[in-house]
Structure 1
Amino acid sequence: MKKAMAGFSVLALFLCNSWAQDISAQKGKEIFEAKGCAVCHKADMDTIGPSLATIARGYLGKEIELVSYLRGQAPAIIDPARAPVMDPQLVKIRSLFDPDMQALATYIVSANDRPF
């Protein structure tokens, strides 16, 4: 019985964490679209900016670095030579509250989990 309860607890924790990430990614998508990020960043095609897929691969496991970049506190990992093009956009988003900035980063990195 203890093993079954432990297994259930792990499953419940996984489902809650997954659900919370889904909610965070949805909020991040709303911010991404509202702030105009989608104009330059397409799902799977580099245009003015790198694609979400490219950014997600580069920042996978590095959401803290992504948040630091979006706040203007760290250099870009993806295509640093073109990063100055992003500076005006960073001004628009760097003042997001921490939960919103984290949601935005979660949405961007979760592009690894979405089919295109």
Structure 2
Amino acid sequence: MRLFSVFILGLLLTGCLTEKPSVTNDPTQAPPRTELSQDSKIFLGNRLFSEKTCITCHAIDSKHKAPSVVEIMQVYKAHDADIVAFLKGHAKPIVDTTTSQVAIMQDNIDGFLKKITDEELDAIATYMMHVDELSKKQ
């Protein structure tokens, strides 16, 4: 029993003596961020796709008011293009659309898409790629 008590005391002392990460109360320093898991990106991307009204025009696998998610991703993959660059407004559309559809999408890019983070844009792209992959399995 005494040996066990010495062992526990040793563990407690060792734990107290090891260096712990410093915690700051500085509001100007952001806490360290961890990378989202693939499932978390898909979940967040799905939520943002609905909240940001992308789903209003872009159905999952059929043309509604604009090209479907599956069609968009197939074109982007075929051209090895970056959907995030397009969503940021740094690339021209490469999917065959009408002038009015491009104008509506440009308004969306200039409006609310420029206000979301790179992490959120990456989540939307991850979700769209996931939808495309699921369509191939069906």
The answer (yes or no) to whether the contact 1:27–1:100 under 8 Å persists in 2 is yes
TM-score if structure 1 supplies the norm length?
0.73
2:53 is the alignment partner of 1:36: yes
Q: Which has the larger radius of gyration?
A: 2
TM-score if structure 2 supplies the norm length?
0.62
Aligned-pair distance for 1:20?
2.1
Query: Would the alpha carbon gap of residues 80 and 46 (structure 1) be closer, same or farther in structure 2, given more than 3 Å must change?
Result: closer
Written as runs of structure 1 = structure 2, the 5 A alignment for 1:72-111 is 72-79=89-96, 81-82=98-99, 83-90=102-109, 91-111=111-131
Secondary structure of 2:119 counterpart? helix
Query: Would the alpha carbon gap of residues 112 and 41 (structure 1) be closer, same or farther in structure 2, given more than 3 Å must change?
Result: same
Between Structure 1 and Structure 2, the one with more helix by share is 1
User: Given residue 99 of structure 1, which amino acid in structure 2 is its aligned partner?
Assistant: E
Structure 1 residues 15-58: Cα deviation after superposition (integer angstroms, max 9, x where no partner): xxxx9222211110100000101000001111211001101112
Secondary structure of 2:122 counterpart? helix
Aligned-pair distance for 1:77?
1.5
How many residues align structurally?
Answer: 97
Distance 2:57 2:74 in 1: 17
Aligned-pair distance for 1:95?
2.2
The runs of at least 4 aligned residues of structure 1 exceeding 6 Å deviation read none
Structure 1 residues 65-94: Cα deviation after superposition (integer angstroms, max 9, x where no partner): 211110111101112544223112112112
Cα RMSD over matched residues?
A: 2.1
The answer (yes or no) to whether the contact 1:57–1:109 under 8 Å persists in 2 is no
Aligned-pair distance for 1:96?
1.1
The answer (yes or no) to whether the contact 2:67–2:97 under 8 Å persists in 1 is no
